[in-house]
Structure 1
């Protein structure tokens, strides 16, 4: 065992302890798979990440992402939080204002030029949701069919069952404890706020693999929704997504199409560094 640099941060919020917490082991070389999984289970956060040297010159560093129960190929708030921790610990990207992070789905770029750091939404498979599965979700969550606007299944590493409801109030009214992983895979809910609201949409992610009933703020789900909206012609301006309000969080996810490249969608948010120390592993 040895002491390793450890940073804990809060992602997708400007209020300490009101976002999605992330533990980052900055110096993870030499740790085995089981050690990483055991530490992630011990932190009991939605995700814990481990920073490693990149496999090749295309990336600035490599990240492995663990929930308390399994490794994830990609996740949004660990991407932004790991990037912030790497920069805080002295990391310097090969290209100014652009960090290239290697993870299991490949290279994910984080753009540092905007008001908030933003990762490029990875490619997303867009598929119809199986009707029997949809009906099971609606019945379990007691969502009236006439409040459903659209549904889809999205995959950008994680797999999402997404249901768009008629309003943000409909999204907030759902009782998250009715569904749990692994009986139900990750369920995304989205509904529009009124025109004078403080965000464009309300988002929730139910039945996360972390074992919680609800994920505080989910960058990868918001990224998948952004790709879905783009495919429908509904991403013609920047959007602000609110998430976490039902569990006392103040999460804000910024989504904007890249004006210079129509295939790039940027998904951003603020990261606050709360703890910087060492851990013995």
Structure 2
């Protein structure tokens, strides 16, 4: 069967510099095995299948349902597939029920997505977090080649996917990491690391000027604004040694870092630098306390797939 298909580059306005996503815009009639087989064939970090929402979700405002697969299995939620699927759905003629937001159904529930100029931004799902076991933290630190003094804070972050989040002493430390991916895979734990640019302390980030804050609110193009944080995502347990740009991780990092006063309510992330990518993730916590994770997307492949 011929099905509409798009390959989208997410968290970038420039083709081939973000995180690619394969989107099958009509996944009806496909069973789990067929979806998994196709996701394994695309060999991208994620492949999505867009479906009609369930009756209950549609009644609650859902515009479409999405299932998200890595080469190794299905995910309950992921950020770049959320934005990329929404972009593909809209470009394919999707009409949201609301003029305010687009609502996606996925295994974690209903996810709100808003338009923000040329970008889309999703509402970060509720976060559960806890302190990691000292033994796990020690083993992960060794696999990353980190000294204890380079880790300023650590949390287990769960917003569907579960990440071990590490706040490091600088962006330079983040960029210099050469992980032992085989060791990380054996630990079965996805790891996300973040560090501030220019050795900025959290306090200097938080008190920056209103003029700078307005720039990061979306009044400057991503490439025109210097990033505040560098982020890397290591997901060897899923068969992806390093993910180019990761929405779910950035969502959970933002909720943690902002809540604990380690980052301001609005900031810009660079991710993918070590993979020759130029991903940009825009973070904002609104007046109601909701964290939004946004970025641009571009379609690189547009056609049909036999599936």
Once the two structures are superposed, residues 32-80 of structure 1 have per-residue CA deviations (whole angstroms, 9 ceiling, x without a partner) of 1100000000000000000000013220000000000100000000000
Which of the numbers 288, 291, 295 marks the counterpart of 1:265? 291
Q: Distance in 2 between matches of 1:225 and 1:126?
A: 10
Count of paired positions = 278
1:132 equivalent in alignment to 2:135: yes
Q: Which residue of 1 aligns with 2:196?
A: 192
Once the two structures are superposed, residues 84-127 of structure 1 have per-residue CA deviations (whole angstroms, 9 ceiling, x without a partner) of 00001100110014100000000000011445210000000010
8 Å CA contact retained: 1:25, 1:49: yes
Which of the numbers 106, 111, 118 marks the counterpart of 1:108? 111
Q: Which residue of 1 aligns with 2:10?
A: 11
1:31-50 to structure 2, matched below 5 A, reads 31-50=30-49
Q: Distance in 1 between matches of 2:283 and 2:236?
A: 22
Q: Which residue of 1 aligns with 2:273?
A: 245
8 Å CA contact retained: 1:208, 1:215: no
8 Å CA contact retained: 2:258, 2:265: no
Give secondary structure in 1 for the equivalent of 2:233.
strand
1:83 equivalent in alignment to 2:82: no
1:204 equivalent in alignment to 2:232: yes
Q: Distance in 2 between matches of 1:39 and 1:157?
A: 23
87 and 12 in structure 1: CA distance in 2 versus 1, 3 angstrom threshold: same
- The CA RMSD measured in Å over matched residues stands at 1.6
Q: Which residue of 2 aligns with 1:27?
A: 26
Once the two structures are superposed, residues 192-220 of structure 1 have per-residue CA deviations (whole angstroms, 9 ceiling, x without a partner) of 00169821111001134441210110000
Which of the numbers 255, 260, 265 marks the counterpart of 2:283? 255
What is the Cα deviation at residue 154 of structure 1? 0.5
More off after superposition, 210-219 vs 69-78: 210-219
What is the Cα deviation at residue 147 of structure 1? 1.1
| TM-score using structure 2 length | 0.87
Q: Distance in 2 between matches of 1:242 and 1:189?
A: 12
Runs of 4+ in 1 over 2 A off after TM superposition: 176-184, 207-210, 233-237
Give secondary structure in 2 for the equivalent of 1:117.
strand
| Structure in which a larger fraction of residues adopt helix | 2
